[in-house]
Structure 1
Amino acid sequence: MGKSGKVLGLCTAILLVIALAAGCTSQGNGGNKTDTGAGKNESGGKQEASVSEGAANVNLDGPLPVVKSPIELSLVTLKAGNSGPVEGMWFFQFMKEKANLNFDVKQIDHSAWNEQKNIMFASNQLPDIFTASFSIDEIMRYGQIEGQLLPLNDLIDKYAPNIKKLLDEKPEVRAAITAPDGNIYSLPSIGVSDLTVWNSFAMNRFFINQKWLKQVGLQEPQTLDDFYAMLKAFKDQDPDGNGKPDSIPFTGTWTQGIGDAYVILSALGINARNATDLSVKDGKVTVAGADPLFKEYLSYMHKLNSEGLLDNEAFTQNETAKFAKSANNQVGALSGAAPFVFAPDYAADWVPLTPLTSKWNSDKLWTDGNHVTPGRIVITSKAKNPEAAIRFADLFFTELYNFIFWNGPMKDSEEALGYEGWYLDDKGEVTYNFPNGITNIWDYVNALNPISGAPLGPSPVYDSINSLYGLKAPELPESELSWRNPILDKVGPYLVAPFPEVYLTPEALARRNELATPILDYVKEMEARFIYGHESLDKFDDYLNKLKSLGLEEYLQIYQSAYDAYVANMK
């Protein structure tokens, strides 16, 4: 055996990855486009799943075994960068011995996922199950339109009591995974929406360099004016003390992911993460880039840019470049997952920013992420044993199996199957023994299971270690509490749900695809032009009129109809 590791590091790593995965896999509201393909199920209406010959083999007396006699299922799953080989994985050994399920597994790297996915569906060479990442539009295309994904409604009602219980208790989850025809074609991952010190994961997190702030003699900013004054001081007063004019007050990645605009937009009262984000005001769907106060955002950002307070690479760099600057102690303010990620040698210098207010908005708000992400588990039309497949998926929605699939079994427990697992050391602390060749906890997790590439089911909450094993979750070190507790205090009370993931009917999807590219590309182009001064803000009304001519009103009405249907599904 190799080195031992405390469960604390595992908890931190997994919670971070859950948050990153949620952020990275979400396509945003309105920016994801796909062709609709040839319609095969456009008439709508719930479909009833036919009963397979293997239905009688399903064990209905308890979660395990899934089936009475062993069967084989084919599975395609995403492969994390440090994922171990399928051969010898505890997860599949557990499935074989305890669930009577043998898996024929294909792992696909994230970088190859889109290409491989398209090939598999175009050729109809599909596995029984995907545990991966499908967008809302892809669920519509491959489910409701093409019929390549099975409707799960009847399967859930008959064979998945834990999924059914969750959907009955949480109408917002049911609404998020129900297509316009009333069918459920995928199962989600579900983030933790109630913040505690363990899951202090407001999806969007913005940090300021408190060491620099102290150096320039300022208090933490509360308003947009304060934020400007802080950035100005960072530029003029050499906060890193190296005697060089190389400090970057504010950096970001405006053209990748969700961007960094939300810290300014929220201060103006715009509940959006970027210029192309949709939001709802008084029940009406709008887009941030057409909000009347978007002009004030552009004016503020132009001021920051013209005075050298905004990184001149903010619209061209990626996150790797951004974090290289913060890791080198060059930056005063930025968004990021956690200080130990973007500034490992200076993590103690960073604190979360409180939501800002402005003369246009006196109420603090902070746009959260969507905590329900559809498209994590799908069962295809090729599945010969769909009842067993949904029964397998149901395990991820139980407290025990969801927890151990993420964290591994307790040593010497019935689930361990001889695998070392975790145990209590002589101090009563939860500890791991790493197998040979593994030196850190995250590699251990990826050697254990195949699911970390795309989280499934509810996020594993560490309260489960108490309810399942009677143990107290380990205390977080001060280095973690120093940024987690402030997120709870500063951001937690002001979180506002973003525009939800919504389904478009096949006809609406086709029309949305026609409208989206010219509208969204124009918003992004003009955002940069206004901020960099290539276009005068005197032309803002012309910009709004151009959006109307591109079909903005029709675009918003498409989403209004989808949003109204989403709200109706929650009732």
Structure 2
Amino acid sequence: MKGGAFTLFHIKAIGNERSYHWHKDKAIVQNGEGSELKSKKIFLLVIVLTLILLSACNNQQDASGDKEGQEKDENVKASGMPIVEEPITLHFFAKRADTTAENWNDVLLYNEYEKMTNINIEWEMVPAAGLTEKRNLVLASENLPDAFHTTSMPVTDLQKYGAQGTFIKLNDLIDEYAPNFKKILEEYPEIKDGITMPDGNIYSFPYAFSPDFVSMLLSSRPWIREDWMKTLDMDMPTTTEELYQFLKAVKEQDPNGNGQADEIPFGANSINTLVEWVQGAYGLGNRGLKHKFVDMDPKEEELRFFPTAEEYKEMLQYVHKLFNEELIDQNIFSISTDQYLAKGSEGLYGVTHYFSPDVLFGKEGENYIGAEALAGPNGSRLYTSILPPVPTPGAFVITSANEHPAATVRWIDYFYGDEGAKLFFMGVEGVTYEETEDGEYEYVDEIKNNPDGLTVEQAVSKYLTYPGGTYPALVTQEFFQGSQGTDMSLDATERLKPHLIEEVWPAFIFTDEEQKIMDTSGADIEKYVNEMKDKFIVGETPFSEWDKYVETIQKMGLEEYMDVQHKAYERYKESSGKN
């Protein structure tokens, strides 16, 4: 402001540049040749022109950044098939797991779905091994795909790129174009809680499990050789001490009867599976698998960092005892999954913890039955190794480059309904599956009993893309044909059900500032805990250094870490109505 006047607008056009000022009741127009006074009409004209320009800018912003602000796509049908009247093509960036087809452009599932929808998908397949790096490069570029499919988009990226407008918000689009998914959110509020960001927006479709499909929530679970229990004249272990005695008998009494000490009492592809099984016997990890460091202290009814609890020390001492006496496979810290499965197929494990042995170990797998939840020395008997219904929120994300967001939402929503689930998990009737007389579905013999010796997953991957997991769909018992749906897995689930924890927390969602702490000092704390867990178990670090271990964690910023966890927990309670 100068001399009682101030510049309101500065407009630059081709070959003409002027500034418009307001001085009392007149507009002053200045140009390179001097200034002149005009009537208020000029000022009013400037106001009108500016409003038009602002409106144009806003419309342009809506078109480029907020797909919910676009006018309806007249090519999209409100319901039924095809989804669009005139064919369209979309470009999807997708993860390719080792267990799926190399090129999804050629699989039966999506070729069939294209005929139904009038939507052709150009699949850009990225191997799982280099997924994170390639995904980050694409996000940093100006060449975005229309959507990211099966790429396990981290929650931090959902928040970051959602706020920036790179990922479009889906709230209104779900309400209008996703009746199947909308029904799921209404029926299972815990799924909605698991995908809603702190700003109240939904930016993704999830990889989700039906809460009614408990076997899927349990994922892997413990198994025990039933024939060896009979040979050893022992009952099913129900306590940590009884498990120890059974493992000791397997090591010392040659239950396979071959005269060799080749039995492996406990074996798995990770020590963590054993820890997650027995920690419930010590009351630890009592809010599920998405919380490996915090749970609810049953004595105080408040959030706790349980890797510093006395019960955690007792649990590690128990696992150390098993390892020290060679009751655990001594290669468990380095064994590959293929090596583990090979040993399982030889029938060497007395107890294991993984997916259904009848599917993975062949004939030898039929000798196993599901093991029990264990009671610990203080009487706790919980089974805590259970997932929330949304293990992966960011399974499918639509980007701002997508010119057909409504059609894309309708495309993905189909797989969250019964018909879409049948197509996704079973394929095409007469080609990949048949309906039985009792109304159930089963794969054709070429898949069930493949003449080339392929497993079910290997055989079905020629037609379908669900092997490998983390896909955008709701997994239900009716259609899912993986190992969690076998009779053996369902029977094992029934054994564990009486001792399942009552409340399973989803992964907490942190604000940007909180995430910075979790990515720095928080990540350092969690890494240190995991490293020390292994060192205590193998005996590299003696338990006489326990107090030093606890003090180190405190100095690394435990108080700030727990403050972040508390804030996220309070938001979770509020959003889920648990206050």
TM-score by length of 2: 0.78
1:377 aligns with 396
Task: Report the number of matched residues.
Answer: 499
- Is the aligned partner of 1:193 residue 2:199? no
Q: Report the equivalent of 1:447.
A: 462
Distance 2:262 2:452 in 1: 40
Kept after mapping to 2: 8 A contact 1:191/1:459: yes
Counterpart of 1:75? 92
Q: Does 1:506 align with 2:512?
A: yes
Displacement, 1:535? 2.6
Q: Which has the higher strand share?
A: 2
Q: Does 1:176 pair with 2:194?
A: yes
Q: Which residue of 2 aligns with 1:107?
A: 125
Output the CA distance in 2 between the equivalents of 1:430 and 1:102. 28
1:294 and 2:308 correspond? no
Q: Which moved more, 1:351-360 or 1:536-545?
A: 536-545
1:273 shift after superposition:
5.3
- SS state at 1:260 partner: helix
Which of 73, 76, 80 aligns to 1:55? It is 73
Moved more, 265-274 or 184-193: 265-274
Corresponding residue number in structure 2 for 1:527:
533
User: Which amino acid in 2 is paired with 1:203?
Assistant: S
DSSP-derived class of the 1:168 partner: helix
- Partner of 2:21 in structure 1? none
In the TM superposition, residue 442 of structure 1 has moved relative to its aligned partner by: 3.7
2:221 is the counterpart of 1:216: no
List gaps (5 residues or longer) in structure 2. Answer: 1-64
Amino acid at match of 1:310: I
SS in 2 for 1:189: strand
Preserved contact between residue 235 and residue 248 of structure 1 (Cα < 8 Å): yes
Aligned residue for 2:369, secondary structure, equals strand
Residue aligning to 1:44: none
The correspondence for 2:474, drawn from 458, 461, 483, is: 458
* Structure 1: runs of 5+ lacking an equivalent: 1-46, 412-419, 465-472
**CA separation in 2, counterparts of 1:569 and 1:531?**
39
Alpha-carbon distance in structure 2 between the residues aligned to 1:101 and 1:72: 6
2:429 maps to 410
1:566 aligned to 563, 566, 572, which one? 572
Q: Write the letter of the residue equivalent to 2:534.
A: A
RMSD between aligned alpha carbons? 3.1
SS of residue in 2 equivalent to 1:293: helix
- Give distance in 1, aligned partners of 2:231 and 2:351: 14
Compute the displacement of 1:265 (Å): 0.6
Name which of 260, 281, 304 aligns with 2:274: 260
Letter in 2 for 1:325: K
Is the 8 Å Cα contact of residues 368 and 498 (structure 1) preserved in structure 2?
A: yes
Deviations 1:134-193 (A, max 9, x none): 244343355335432111112112222222222122211111001111111111122133
Structure 1 stretch displaced more, 442-451 or 428-437 = 428-437
1:522 deviation in Å? 1.7
Alignment CA distance shift 1:51-1:498 (3 Å): same
In structure 2, what is the Cα distance between the partners aligned to 1:137 and 1:426?
Answer: 44
Shift in alpha-carbon separation, 1:335–1:279, aligned structure 2, 3 A? same
- Quote the offset at 1:275 in angstroms: 9.8
Query: What's the counterpart of residue 489 of structure 2?
Result: 484
- Output the CA distance in 1 between the equivalents of 2:478 and 2:290: 32
* Conservation of the 8 A alpha-carbon contact between 2:373 and 2:381: no
What amino acid is the match of 2:512?
P
Partner of 2:39: none
Q: Compute the displacement of 1:560 (Å).
A: 2.1
Which structure would you say has the larger Rg?
Answer: 2
What does residue 8 of structure 2 align with? Answer: none
Q: Distance in 2 between matches of 1:446 and 1:383?
A: 28
Q: Secondary structure at the match of 1:239?
A: coil
Listed one character per residue, the Cα deviations across residues 4-52 of structure 1 (whole Å, up to 9, x for unaligned) are xxxxxxxxxxxxxxxxxxxxxxxxxxxxxxxxxxxxxxxxxxx964444
Closer, same or farther: CA 220–100 of 1 in aligned 2, 3 Å: same
* Aligned counterparts of 2:130 and 2:535: Cα–Cα separation in 1: 34
1:383 alignment partner AA: N
Q: 1:457 to 1:328 in 2, by over 3 A?
A: same
Aligned residue number for residue 326 of structure 1: 344
Please name the residue that 1:38 is paired with: none
Most deviating of 90-99 and 420-429: 420-429
Contact residue 144 and residue 179 of structure 1 kept, 8 A: no
Give the Cα–Cα distance (whole angstroms) in 2 for the partners of residues 357 and 344 of structure 1. 31
Contact 1:186 1:378 in 2 (8 A): yes
> What is the correspondence of 1:21-420 to structure 2 with a 5 Å cutoff?
49-52=67-70, 55-60=73-78, 62-80=79-97, 81-83=99-101, 85-140=103-158, 142-195=160-213, 202-254=218-270, 258-271=272-285, 276-281=292-297, 284-372=302-390, 373-411=392-430, 420=431
Write the letter of the residue equivalent to 1:462: E
Given candidates 444, 460, 464, the residue that maps to 1:432 is 444
Q: Distance in 2 between matches of 1:69 and 1:191?
A: 34
Identical amino acids, percent of aligned pairs: 26
**Which amino acid letter does the alignment assign opposite residue 401 of structure 2?**
K
Cα pair 2:290 2:506 within 8 Å, conserved: no
- Per-residue deviation, 1:570: 2.1
SS of the counterpart of 2:279?
Answer: helix
